[in-house]
Structure 1
Amino acid sequence: MTHPVIQLPALIAHRGYSAAAPENTLAAVRAAYEAGSTWVELDVQLLGDGTPVIWHDSDVARCSNGRGGLASMSWAKAQTLDAGGWFDDRFAGEKMPSLSEMLALLNELEMGVNMEIKVNKGRDPIALVERALPEMLDTLPPERLIISSFNAAALGHCRQFASKERLALGVLFGNVPKSWREQCEAIEAFSVHTHWPRLKRAQADAMQRDGYQILCYTANDPSAFHSRWEWGIGSVITDEPAAFKRFLDSH
Structure 2
Amino acid sequence: MLPTLYSDNGDNFIVIAHRGASAYFPENTMPAFRGAVEMGAEMIEIDVMMSSDGVPVVFHDATLADHTNGEGELADYSLEELRELDAGSWFGAEFAGEKIPTLEEVLQFARDRIAVNIEIKTEAVTDQERGGVEEKSLELVRKYGMEDHVLFSSFDYRAIAHIKALEPTMPAALLYNSQTSNKRLPSQLVADYSADAFNCSYKQLNRKRLLDIRLHNIPVFVYTVNQQQRMKKLVKMGVTGIFSDKPDLLRKVAENVNK
TM score, norm. by length of structure 1: 0.90
- Determine the structure 2 residue equivalent to 1:191: 197
Pick from 100, 105, 125 the counterpart of residue 101 of structure 1. Answer: 105
| Equivalent in 48, 60, 81 of residue 56 of structure 1 | 60
- The equivalent of 2:49 in structure 1 is 45
Give the Å deviation of 1:224: 2.3
Aligned partners of 1:231 and 1:33: how far apart in 2? 26
- Residues 117 and 152 of structure 2 are in contact (CA less than 8 Å); yes or no, is this contact kept in structure 1? yes
Q: Secondary structure at the match of 2:239?
A: coil
**Which residue of 108, 113, 116 maps to 1:110?**
113
Distance 1:3 1:94, change over 3 A: closer
Aligned to 1:25: 29
5+ residue gaps, structure 2? none
AA at the equivalent of 1:124: T
How far residue 133 of structure 1 moved from its aligned partner, in angstroms, is: 2.1
* Structure 1 gap ranges (5+): none
- What SS is found at the alignment partner of 2:107? helix
Residue 68 of structure 1 and its aligned partner are, at CA, apart by: 2.1
Where does 1:108-187 land on structure 2 (aligned, <5 Å)? 110-120=113-123, 124=126, 126=128, 127-164=132-169, 167-173=170-176, 175=178, 178-179=183-184, 180-187=186-193
What percentage of residue pairs aligned between the two structures are identical?
29
Any idea what the Cα deviations from partners look like across 1:107-128, whole Å, max 9, x if unmatched?
Answer: 1x521011101112x8526422
Partners of 1:190 and 1:77 in 2: CA distance: 37
| Structure 1 residues 85-96: aligned runs within 5 Å | 85-96=89-100
Matched, 1:10 2:14: yes
Give how far 1:210 is off: 1.2
CA shift in 2, pair 1:237/1:125, >3 Å: farther
RMSD over aligned Cα atoms: 2.1
Match of 2:248 among 217, 220, 242: 242
Corresponding residue for 2:86?
82
- What is the CA deviation profile of residues 147-179 of structure 1, one whole-angstrom value per residue up to 9, with x for unaligned ones? 001111111010012123xx1110001557631
Which moved further from structure 2: 5-14 or 154-163? 5-14
Query: Kindly tell me: are residues 101 and 4 of structure 1, through their superposed partners in 2, closer, same or farther at Cα, counting changes over 3 Å?
Result: closer
Alpha-carbon shift at residue 183 of structure 1 (Å): 2.2
**Separation (CA, whole Å) in 2 of partners of 1:37 and 1:192:** 20
Report the TM-score when normalising by structure 2. 0.87
The one-letter code matched in structure 1 to 2:117 is N
